[in-house]
Structure 1
Amino acid sequence: MKTASLYVTQHQSAVSLDYINEAINIYSQYEDYKRHLTICYVIKATNYMHLGKFEESEEYFLTAIKTAKELKDEFYEAMQYHNISILYSNFDKSQECINAIKKAVRCNEWRESVYYISINPKTNKQEKKASIPNKTVYFTDDKDAFQIFDERTFMLAINDNVNEKEASKILLIDKETLKTKKEVVMENGFIPTKLKRINDEIVAVSYNGKVSFFDENLNKKKSFKFYAGNSEILLNDIKFDDSNMYVLIKGFDMQKENVLGEITSYDLKSGKKVNTTPLKAKKEWEIARFELLHNE
C-alpha cells in the first residue's frame, strides 16, 4: 500500500494501480483490515481521477465513504466527502460538489483538522495550536518537507496533490506563535517534496526533476534541472551534503547485471552531474532508500 501511495503522488497511476489492486485482494480477505481496505479505495479513486476516469473514481470514493460509515469513523468519512467534492469540481458537477462539501463540514473535527500543534516534550502536553492557511492545499507526506529553518523558525512545503488547482508553497512559521511569518508561491508545476537548509540557502526539490534555491528571505536565487526518471524509472530518494545532491532512481524491473537503478550526484553550485553509481541487488525492491555516511 505504501508503494502505491508513493506512485500516486508521482502521478505514476498505472504502476500505483497494479500495487493497490494487489493490496485490495489481500486486505479484502480479512475483516480486521477494513480500515486498510478503505485507504486502498481512496488511493485507487485518486489514481482514476488523475487518469480522467470520472465514473471509476466516483465509485471508489463512494465505496471508501461507505466503509468509513461502517467503521463509524466520522473524521475519515468527512475526508472522503471532501475528496469526492474535488472530483466533482474537476468534472464541472457543481451541485454534487456543493452537496459533498456540506456533508464534510458537518464534522467539527475535520473542519478544525488543519493546524500545527506545539507539544512540551517535558510534560507531553499541548501548548499551542494554530491553523494553517492552506485552503485546499494538501500537505506532502514526506517528512523532509517540514524542517527547522533556524532556532526561531520552521519551514514547511505544502502542495495540492489531488485538486492540482492551488499553487504549491513554502511557509516560514514562527516557533513561538505558530504564525506564518512569510510564504513563497512556487512556479507552476513545481511541487516541493523536500526542503533542506544548507548554510544560508533553502533548497527545495520538486519530484518532477527541478531544484530551486532561495535566500533566508525566500527570494529565489537560482534553479537547475536533474534527471528524475521516466515512466519506467522513478525517483525514490534524495539526499544532500554541503556541496552535492544525490538522487536515487529505480526501475520497476531488474535490468542487466542485476542493476535496480542508480544514484547520481549533482554539484549544487553548478547543477552539473558529478558521478553515477549503479545500484545492484540479487532481488527486486519495491522502494529504495539510502543514507550518506561520513567517515570521521
Structure 2
Amino acid sequence: MTALDEPADDLGLFGPDSVTWRIHGTLLLAVGGLRALFLQALHPRAMAGVAQNSDFRDDPWGRLYRTGDYVATVAFGTTQEARRAAARVRGIHRRLRGRDPYTGAEFRVDDPELLRWTHVCEVESFATTARRGGVRLTDADVDRYYTEQLRAAELVGLDPATVPSSAADIADYYADMRPKLALTKDAAAAAVFLFWPRMPLRVGLAGARAGWMGVTGLAFGLLPTWARQMYGGVGLPVADRTATLAVRSLAGTLSVLPERVRHSPRVRAGLARARAAERQ
C-alpha cells in the first residue's frame, strides 16, 4: 500500500481520544526524550550498543531528529506509516551487534531485554515529564497510556505480555533492573555529550548552547532520585520540587507558541486528519 492508497480517515494506532495523543502532542515530549536518554544510558549493554553502532557524536542533531520523527510517526502517523517506520527500525537493529563492556561477550542490539529497557525508559519519561509539566493526567490515564504504548512496544519486536503496562508494573520493573545498572565510561561520556554537543553551524553558538544546556539540565533534574545519584547529581527532595517548577514554567511558555512551532509536520498531519474525520 502506498501513501496514496491509505484511507484519508486513518487516524493511526491511537487516535484523538487516546492518552498518547495528549502526551505526545506537546513540546514537553522533547524534554521527556532527553530524560529517557539519561536513563537508557545507565544500562551497560544498552549504552554499549549505542556507543559501538551509532553516529550520535558525529551527527547528534540528525540522530535526535530521526528518533523524534519515529516517535511522532508511531503516535500520529497513519497505521501503515507507523508499521513501515517500525519495520525499518527492526531491520536496522536486526543487523547490529555489540560487545559487553565488562565481559566482552557479543550481544544482539535487538535483545528483548534491551528493547524493553529502552521502551520503558521512554514511555515512563514521556508520562512523568508531561504530568510534572502540568498536563492533566489521572493515575488511570497514566496506566491507560502505558497500556496503549504496548502497541509501540510490539512494533519494535517485543511480546506485549513481557512489557510493564501500568505505573505499578514500571516501578517494580525499575526496582528489579537497578542492580543491573551502572555508570560506565560510555554512559558518563554520553551524559557529558548531551550537555555539550556539537552545535549546528548556522545558529548563534552562545545563545543556542545556553538554551540547550538549560533544557538538558531540566531533563536531568526530572530523573528519578536514584538515577541522578548514579550520575553524581543531587538527590535531595528540593531538587525534585525545583525541576517540577521549572518544567511547569517551560510548559506555560510553550503553550503560547503558534501551532506550526508547537507541533512537528507529522503531528500537524495527524491532527488535520482527525479534524477532517470529525467533519465527515
What TM-score, normalized by structure 1, do the two folds share?
0.29
Higher RCO (Cα < 8 Å, 6 or more apart): 2
Higher Cα radius of gyration: 1
What TM-score, normalized by structure 2, do the two folds share?
0.30
Structure number having the greater strand percentage: 1
Structure number having the greater helix percentage: 2
